[in-house]
Amino acid sequence: MRELYAGVDVGGQHIKIGLLTREGEIVDETSIDTDLETPVLKSMGVLAETLKQFASRQKGCCLKGVGVGMAGQVNVSKGMYYSGPNFPGWVNVPVVQELKKHLDLPVILENDANVAALGEHEYGAGKGIDNMIAVTLGTGVGCGIILEGHLYRGSNDSAGEFGHNTIDYEGRMCVCGRKGCVEAYVGARGILRTLKEILADGQDSVFKTMDLSKIKPRQINEAANQGDKVALEVFRKTGYFLGLAIADIANLLNVQRVVVGGGVANAGEKLLGPTLETARKECLSVPSQVLNIVPAKLGNTAGLAGAAYLAMELVHPKEKGMMPR
């Protein structure tokens, strides 16, 4: 029978599930609503039953393992989800234990930015690159780190908080309570603040008569594509801020590639051009020689692919060469 591995991406509104082959092909996808009102252990049971029913639709196939990605603080070795901004009330949840109770299968839990980085490294824009980071730009700013071909988790699974590196100690207040974090400049809220600051200078723009509290990065991108100078300046500045932060990472880790994904990254060259220009200018000459910044390839499926890949490693550690802790 053909082996399949489930990748699960648990979001604040939806839980996405994908079934992948050992070659990384997604053979089927589905999603269910994230029910934050239901007791969390019951929710794990519902997820497990959904996985079993979903996998049973694939004739001639056998589900061999499950990988789960969640936004927030996790302990990989214990299979515990500690807490996160998208899941109020989900605190110290034994995710792996609960899913295995219902599934009787190998299960691994990982941070969502890490699984997205793994997905891009194994199947997407980072394939064949030994040293890279994958940055996800959205409401928040996530980051996964690949060093010497291996996912780097840090001493207690909390590496990769790129969004809370500081680029201006007297700068904008971040939602984390500190000043000048990367997220305060390149996350969705930070981009909107940049738009407001540019408009305050009196420049003409389609946004001058709009309710700015309802504007999303997608609309700024659409305006930029129509030649709106303010929208273009928003992405130039956002790229500058992102490039400053990436320069520090390049100096520290000497990565070859930075893969940028998430909804904000749909701006493409308008954002990534200034990002690469700034990063190369601001980092030291030697790491600058190998540094490249590219858009993600897998889009919304990166997390599913990376989570399923971890499940494959769990089942076939020798063949995959990187057994999770």
Indicate whether 205 pLDDT > 60: yes
What is d(CA 51, CA 19) in angstroms, rounded to the nearest whole number?
A: 9
Residue 218, pLDDT > 50, answer: yes
235: pLDDT strictly greater than 90: yes
Name the strand (E) or helix (H) holding 75.
strand 73-75
Is the pLDDT at 318 greater than 80, yes or no? Answer: no
pLDDT tier, 1 (very low <50, low <70, confident <90, very high otherwise)? confident
- For residue 322, pLDDT beyond 90: no
Categorise residue 90: left if φ over 0, alpha if ψ from -120 to 50, beta otherwise: beta
Query: Residue 91 contacts by C-beta under 8 Å, 6 or more apart in sequence?
Result: 82, 83
Residue 85 confidence (pLDDT) = 77
Q: Please provide the distance, in angstroms rounded to a whole number, between the alpha carbons at the two ends of the chain.
A: 28
Which whole number is the average pLDDT over 39-67? 92
CATH for 125-296?
3.30.420.40
CB within 8 Å of 86: residues ≥ 6 apart: 11, 12, 71, 72
pLDDT classification of 86: cutoffs 50, 70, 90: confident
Q: How confident is the model at residue 14 (pLDDT cuts 50, 70, 90)?
A: confident
Query: Is residue 62 scored above 50 in pLDDT?
Result: yes
List all residues 6 or more positions away from 277 whose beta carbon is below 8 Å from its beta carbon: 239, 243
Q: What six digits make up the tokens of 227?
A: 């030649």
260: tokens are: 């940028």
CATH 3.30.420.40 intervals, the chain? 2-112+300-320, 125-296
Half-sphere exposure of 176 (CA within 13 A, CB side): 19
Is the pTM here over 0.85, yes or no? yes
Q: Which fold has domain 2-112+300-320?
A: Nucleotidyltransferase; domain 5 (3.30.420)
Residue 319 banded pLDDT, cuts 50, 70, 90: low
Q: What is the mean pLDDT of the chain?
A: 92
